[in-house]
Structures are given as C-alpha cells and as structure tokens.
Chain A
Amino acid sequence: MGNVDDDSATFEQSYDCANNRNEKVSTPISNGHIPSHAFVQQKVEGQLSEPELVEEEQNEEQLLLNKHLKFSAPAYTEIRTRSGGLKFKGTSEGSYHPAKQLEANGHATKSGSKCEKFKPSQADGVLSAEQEHYQKTSFEDVPLHTACLTYLGFYLLMILGYINQLLFVPKVATEKGREGYVALYDAFESFYSRYVYRRVRDCWNRPICSVPGDELVLKDRVTDDYGWSFRFTGTETRCLNLGSYNYLGFAAATGACADDSEQRARQKGLAYCSPRSELGNTQLHIDLERLTARYCGVEDAIVFGMGFATNALNLPSLLGPNCLVVSDEKNHASIILGLRLSGATTRVFKHNSMRDLERVLRNGVCYGNPKNGGKPWNKIMILVEGIFSMEGSLVRLPEIIALKKKYKAYLYLDEAHSIGSMGPTGRGVVEYFGADPKDVDILMGTFTKSFGSAGGYIAGSKKLIDFLRTNSHAHCYASSISPPIVQQIYTSMSIIMGEDGTDTGRNKVQQLARNTRYFRRRLAQMGVITYGHEDSPVVPMLVYLFSKIGAVIRTLTTRHIAVVGAGFPATPIMEGRIRFCLSAAHTKEQLDYALDVIDDVSENLGLKYSRKPRDPKIIEY
C-alpha cells in the first residue's frame, strides 16, 4: 500500500537472507561503532587459517560480517539499478559501504581531523540580525493545487470514515454495562484515530530493539486487518536512523558515557526513591547542577528528572494570574500546559515575527490587564524556544533580547533542542548568536536530546534558582534523577566541554554542524521544500498530503531508512511533513546514501514541490 517498490520480491529475498544470518547471533547492537574494513579482512583471513577460534571471537566476526554484508544486500544496493533521475559517477557512488569508512571524510574521530574551510555553527553577524534570519531561513508557500488536493484528500478520508463507521462496528474493546453514561472520550478524537490515523498507523510508534544510535533495529510487524491490530513477524530490520534527537551521538551502548553510567549504577544503585528536598539529594546532583551552570555560563542551575515537567511544573511557580505571557505560536505542548496551569493571560504572536511580538508587547504595556481594570501587569514574560522542533527554525534571539530590554519583559528560553546542538562549542542558541547568557532571564533545556539521557534543567541567576528550589513542584515532589542517568549527563556534558582532555566533544559539535549544512543544501538542491534555519539539525521536509507521509515512511523503511512523519494533529492540516533529525554519529556515506534514496523516492512520489532555482553546483561536505 503506497510503496513505490515495484520489485518487492528482491527486497523480500535479501531481507530473508539477512535475517537468516541474524539468527545465528544475538541481536546485533548498533552503536555507531563501525569497525574498519581492514579489520574485517584480517579477521576473515584469520578464521580461514585457524579454524578453532574462541566462540566469542567468532560471534563478533559474524557480527562484523553481517554489517559488511548488510550494505551489499540488494535492498541496500537496489538504488544503483534504478534510474529515477539519479546520475552516479561510479557504480558504487550511491551506496553506503563500510569500506568507504576508511576514507577521510571529516567525521569526528579521536584524532580530530577537520577540514580547513569549516564554518562553525555560529551566526555570521555580517548582516543585521533580521537580514541574516531571512537569508538563512528556508520557507516556501504551499503550491495552490497541492493545498486543494490536500483538503480534497482529507474530506475523502472523513467521508469514507463516516461511511465506514456507519456500516461496520469498529474493532475496538467496548465496555459493558455503561448504558446511560456520557462518553468519556472525545468523539471526534476517537473517530479520527480510528478512521484516519489507523490507516497509516504502521508508520508511527514502531517498536525498536536496539540502541537508537546512527542506526537502529526495527522490530518488524504486519497488520492483517488494515491497522486495527499488529502482530510481530519475529524478524528485524536494521535501518539508518534519521528520527532520533540524538544530536551529538551520545546515545550509544559503548563508549565513555555508557561505561561510566554502568559503573555508577553498580556503585549507587538505580534510584533514590525520594525527592531532592528529602532523601534524594546527593553530591552527584549538586555536581551536575554546578556543571550545568558552568556549561550555560550562568550563576546557578537546577535539574529535574523529566524534561516535560520542567516546563509544565516550573512555569506555574514563576507565573500567576496577573501576569502576561507572550508566547510563540509554535511553542511545545509542555509550555502550553505550563501556561494553562499557571493561570496567566497568554497572548500568542506569529511564529518568529518580531513585528507581531512588538505589537503584542506594546499592547500589553499600554493597556494593562483588562480583567483588572487596565492596571499594569505584574510581569510580562516572553516565551520562546531555541529550535522549534516541528518547524526546524531558530529563534531570533538578538532581536528578542533588544525587544525584551525595550519593554522590560522577562525572557524564558526553552533550549530543549538547541542545547548541545548549536553554537561553536554546543552551548545552544545563546552562544550561536554570541549573546550574553545573563540577558536571558530563564534558560531552560532538556538532557533528553543532545546528552542522550533524560531530564531537564533551568539555569539562571542564583536568586531565581533559589526561588525555584523552594517553590517548584517538580523539585519538591518528584523523585530525583537516577544515578546512572546523572552520570550519563555528567559525562556527556564534560565531553562536550572538553573537560575529559580530548576534543571529541568539539569534533562532534562540528560534525553535526557540517552534517546539517550538507543535508539541508542537498535537499534544497533536489527541489523538495524544507523549513527552517540553515544550521538547525531538525529538518522538516514538506510532503503536504496525508497519504504521502505514510507512503514516504513505508518506502524509506523498505530502503532501510527510519524517519519520523508528522501529520494533522501535530501540524496544520495542510502541512504534513517528514522530519529528519541529524546526528553527529552520521557519517557522510550514511547521509549520501540517505540523500540518494530520498532523491529517488521524492522523484517517484512527486515531492519536488519547490519552485525556487536550484543550485547546479555539487554541494561540498
């Protein structure tokens, strides 16, 4: 359904073959550590001369062989044989092969090889902030016919859904003995998930069974009743991972972070089962807070065990009913929930529109609180995110700081996605724009994304943090972060800061910046519409139609690429999109492979909507 793969037989065969091999060993765990080709060769030769090797080594060698064979399997190399508008110089140009790993491609190694003309992830500052924003942000209006077709398709889905609901009893569990009760769940929501979302349900919530590093292993599942239920086939597919927020590649099963966390778990156990203000406070947490404060360049920081709760539970302690919040329209659900809990008056401004922000701020200052007879607001707070996760756009920080100073408002910056992934040394958008961290009153961020862990922090002045320590629900009632998780954050953060004595962290940040720019430019060259800032590692590719989201995800899965799609409830109806998240763990070969497949797929499925002139030159990595 919706797959453009005509010759699925070859794929199935190759797939079976790969899986038979997999049966011999346990699930190969991918962690971004791809051994060099020479090593594999050596191993193979070694095995030929000496048949009796230790079992462990054999297993390892089998695993390496799997990795080696995987990419020469037909499903991976199929792209070479398809024309699809692709022009490869050599036969192996379009394939991603571990042998090519040996070539110097500027990816983060411990030796720290880098290209000369590398531009760090940083604002140029040559043009004015506004001009630079418009120059670097890609945005394109939806073509009119696509918009019409999107609505047509949506109406068709709705109408047929209603017909379906009328004719058949939905295959869902129903409660007995509930006559006369009002429906507990929203009627439209359950209709939508049953008759629209269900049709493409296989593209979301896919179970994985490996660490989500640069590659991941999907557990295959099939549906016999068009998405009502799934059953596992017992096989697995290894895919290139373009869907995780693993920006710096710290989500790995091996390496310093994993070793330290394991050691810490053995030493300190798994949980303290108590909040920070009671028995859950240890030197580990205090160290982490100090490190976070140093990382952000501010006086103090406070850490929480849950990133979502950091927003949702700290905003109510900072804001009250007589406060005005000026919030960006694309802010995350956790912020919106926090604002609703706080009871503050929320005014929304258009996404990244400074003119609209100033209008809202000026109105707020001039007219005061209408519910309070026009008396001035207690405080006005501007709420923005660093990188907007659905749009891939960057906050216009210099202009917002100027406005904030002009109107004496507070600024709350949610750096959930940008911390670690932006700026020359990964300190987030504040460093990216060269702003002073003290100009941002409240710096919030999560450890879930770049640090490959869980939790969130708030950093700012000592006064603010002390206030939160006494008032925050997340601090007083939620149990403290588990020791191995603290250790994972601590180790990854010190690696990014270079405190482990190597420049691995810096190389990772640079690798991410390079990957991002390369990927975005190649996509633009292909003629697909992408949103967002040139340096943001979240790359939404617009496919608009609901059916195309499913078709793209399914087709890419058959080509061993795992991506995330976002459709109507998460985005406006007209703007279905595929969201690629880049990582420092990706190498140029992996990206090239992915890009070639995306090019082929977008050609076949008609995703090349862009009417902008394309760059004819070859994009340099």
Chain B
Amino acid sequence: MTEFKYLIQDPLGIHARPAGMLAKLAKSFEGTTVYLTKDGNTVKASQLMKLMAMGVKAGDEVTIGCEGGDEAAAAAAMEQFLKENL
C-alpha cells in the first residue's frame, strides 16, 4: 500500500463533479485499488456515492492509499489530480 496525505484546498470540497472525476480516475488504474480515508472512515475512491457521502470539505485532511499493481504510478496520478482540482 502506497499512501499519502493531502489537505483539501478547494472551498467547496469534494462535491459531485470533482468526486465524479476523482472516481473516474481512481477506476482507471488496472489492478490497483485506490482508497480514500477521512477521520478514520475509508471508502474505495472509485465508488462515487461513497465518496460523495464522505462530505470532504476544505481544510479536511484525507489519506489516499493505493494498493496492488503499480501503486507508485497510481499514487502520483492521484496526487497530481488532487493538487490541480482540489
């Protein structure tokens, strides 16, 4: 499992649209599962509904975990996405 933490900057947090994009990206890594953790709750980042239900807002610190396959590449792509969009 490759993990990194990220502090959400976007004032609106992970609402529907960014969640959709994040989930789409998380789904795109063959053989790698991406998890998102906030306050001890973990969901698969590819599950849009779960992701939205987390209600991640600006100032929240989330942990992204990538497991299996090319973990490092997935983690890097996720980090880049978060920096660009959130």
Do the two shown chains form a genuine complex with each other?
A: no
